[in-house]
Structure 1
Amino acid sequence: MTSSNERVTVYVYYRGTPDTRFDRDYYTNHHLPLCMKAWGQYGLLSCRAFYPAIDEDGTIAICESVYRDETAANAAFGSPELREVMADVARYTDATPIRVRGLPL
């Protein structure tokens, strides 16, 4: 468990096949900036996208989001802006986002 003043990393990943619709350009250039605009005010410090080197069944995209602390992450995911961010998902994929929190080793 993290202390209240440690940075929190949240990973959002998407699973599918090479045929699953996922617009990387839209995700990188529109959705992630939308997340920063919506949640930067709560303490989102950065978010970056990663894509597999080869197309195969499994993970098709990963986003690493770093929050100032636990309070910031909770505030962002409980914010009124969550609705706008989630509504944007349909614009770039049919896959369901899966959110997990990473813990430092």
Structure 2
Amino acid sequence: MVVYVTYQGTTQTRFDHDYYVTSHLPLVMRAWKQYGLVGVSAFFPPIVQAGTIAICECVFRDEVALKAAFTSAEVPEVMADVPRFTDSSPARVRAVGL
């Protein structure tokens, strides 16, 4: 099961790529690995422009793992870290392979 977390913004939107990759994503892995998160990856557009400014791919073992992570006691800690790297709000999109 894959969930994409996207961040939208403008050329003025603050987004610290380094903090996101070196601090936030490891926090996400530590928080949700115990529930079945098997990997996270970050993707950024090659140029600064309005629209999608970052995408995170979160791969979970299955639907049960995804639900357990997103309803876990660790959610507040993960979400409290978001203002440290951006002033954009994350949006989640689930992907299903065909």
Gaps (5+ residues) in structure 1? 1-7
Q: CA deviation at 1:19?
A: 1.0
For residues 3-37 of structure 1, give each alpha carbon's deviation from its aligned partner in whole angstroms, at most 9, with x where no partner exists. Answer: xxxxx000000000111000000000000000000
Q: Percent identity?
A: 60
Would you identify which runs of 4 or more consecutive aligned residues in structure 1 move more than 6 Å?
none
Q: Structure 2: how far apart are the matches of 1:32 and 1:45?
A: 12
| Counterpart residue number, 1:28 | 21
Q: TM-score, normalised by structure 2?
A: 0.98
Instruction: Report 1:1-105 matches (<5 A).
Output: 8-105=1-98
Query: Paired residues, what number?
Result: 98
Q: Structure 1: how far apart are the matches of 2:5 and 2:20?
A: 12
Say which one has the larger Rg.
Answer: 1
Q: Structure 2: how far apart are the matches of 1:36 and 1:99?
A: 16
| Counterpart residue number, 1:5 | none
Gaps (5+ residues) in structure 2? none
Letter aligned with residue 95 of structure 2: G
Q: CA deviation at 1:103?
A: 1.2
Letter aligned with residue 75 of structure 1: A
Q: CA deviation at 1:95?
A: 0.1
